Structure formats: C-alpha cells, structure tokens
Amino acid sequence: MAMNGTITTWFKDKGFGFIKDENGDNRYFHVIKVANPDLIKKDAAVTFEPTTNSKGLSAYAVKVVPESKYIYIAGERLKLTAIKSFLVYHEEVPADTRIDKENGVLSVGVLMGSIRPKSETKPGEMRSLKKLAITTFQGTTLIFSEDEIDVDATVKLLGK
C-alpha cells in the first residue's frame, strides 16, 4: 500500500536519507530505491512503498513528486513553462484607490490598510504601488498589484 511522505534529510554524498511518512514516522531510504533520483531534495514530496529492514522502518519504490508546473496568482492558474518573462515595477497611484472588494483576494496588509483612519489620505495624494507584470509565450501580459498578491513571494515562485 503506497504512502505519501516528505524527504526530511538527504545525504547526497552517502546516497541515503530519511522520509517522514504520513504517520509522522521516519523511514530510511536509499538512492537505488528511488525512481527519479535527480529530483531528490530536502522537503520534496514523495510516494513510496513502506517496508522494514534490519535497521527499522524504510521505504522502497520511492518516487519524488515533481513540483507543480502551475502557480496560482490571484486566482489565475499560470503554467510556469508558459511564462516568458516577468517584471516588477512601481506605479504611482492615487493613495485613496483601494482594490475592488469584489475581488475577494485580500491580503492581511490590505485589510489593515483599509482599517486605517481615512483622514491620513489627503485627496490627490499618491502612493507607490508595487506591480508584477507577467508575459506569456502566447503574448498575454497579466498585471498584478501588491494589493492583490504578495509580489515578492510570487517572484520567488517564478524564479524556480
């Protein structure tokens, strides 16, 4: 019966490591028992067949689950391989523009921002809004602002 787990320790030079299984137990595994050893890395998700050896719990028929080829940004599903380029830039916007509440994607920061007393914002005051523009190979450009997404965290995902 196959189980799921996560690689918690990996000794590349020794060719073995440990997987924490779905019951929270640590299982020994060896690189020769891994179907796709090039994907082995700490914190990678795996499926495997549980077994026991002389040393205790172990795993064989280990498969590293490839990382998702999709990322979700503000509800848009983007295929990582379809992204041609991305750019982070700042745009000056009126300080009193708040994103449309209908969007439903609100970060805590934005919520905190909306709770601040309005008196701080003078009419005509500008604020610098960080934006992320993503261009796909299909030639579509999607633009997200930091009011909708965590720009830095998203860029980390794109940087893979």
State the amino acid at position 5 in one-letter form.
G
Q: What is the mean pLDDT of residues 138-149?
A: 89
DSSP-derived 3-state class of residue 31: helix
- Greater confidence (94 vs 97) lies with 94
Q: Which residue has the tokens 């280990």?
A: 62
Please state the three-class secondary structure of 52-79 as a single string. Answer: EECCEEEEEEEEECCCCCEEEECCEEEE
Each residue's pLDDT tens digit, 48-66: 999 998 889 999 999 998 7
Residue 83's region, left for phi above 0, alpha for psi from -120 to 50, else beta, is beta
Each residue's pLDDT tens digit, 23-51: 999 999 999 999 999 999 998 899 999 99
Q: What is the pTM of this model?
A: 0.46
